[in-house]
Amino acid sequence: MLIYPNSSCLLVVDIQEKLAPAIHEAEAVVANARWLVEVAKLAKVPVLTSEQYPKGLGRTVKELRDVLPEDGYMEKLHFSCMSDPGCNEKINSLRPNQVIIVGMEAHVCVLQTAIQIKQQAREVFVVSDAVSSR
């Protein structure tokens, strides 16, 4: 299956300061996610970043903040990005046919986001070496 840059987006889900220490192989997840963000930018693929309750869980880790576009951040209070009205609107405004997902809490936030995006008849690619859980 091919990914088409002109009809896709990269979604970075909840790779946050207070989650990272508890995540299995967090350093590798962050490094792989960072690499994908850099590739996406080179290919002109839009990059969006969700932060689950940043007041409590902190911001996106510094290693990623350094390369993420400032206008792509979305705060959320739901596990799924698609259940949060602001995130849903921002993702849908890009009209992606394909969504590439990296992130933390693969068993909750990444999974629920992927399921709901798939329910919108979009292709979903969860990058296995750029997601993890506790």
- Contacts of residue 3, defined as CB under 8 A and 6 or more positions apart, other chains included, come to 98, 100, 125
Neighbours of 38 (CB within 10 A): 12
Q: Is 76 a catalytic residue?
A: yes
C-alpha span between 117 and 121 (Å, rounded): 7
- Classify residue 18 by its DSSP letter: T
Q: Is 109 a catalytic residue?
A: yes
Q: Is 66 a catalytic residue?
A: no
Which is catalytic among the residues 76, 84, 87, 90? 76
Which is catalytic among the residues 9, 81, 87, 109? 109
> Residue 8 — φ and ψ, nearest 5°?
-135, 170
Which is catalytic among the residues 9, 14, 81, 84? 14
C-alpha span between 52 and 119 (Å, rounded): 22
Q: Which residues does the annotation mark as catalytic?
A: 14, 76, 109
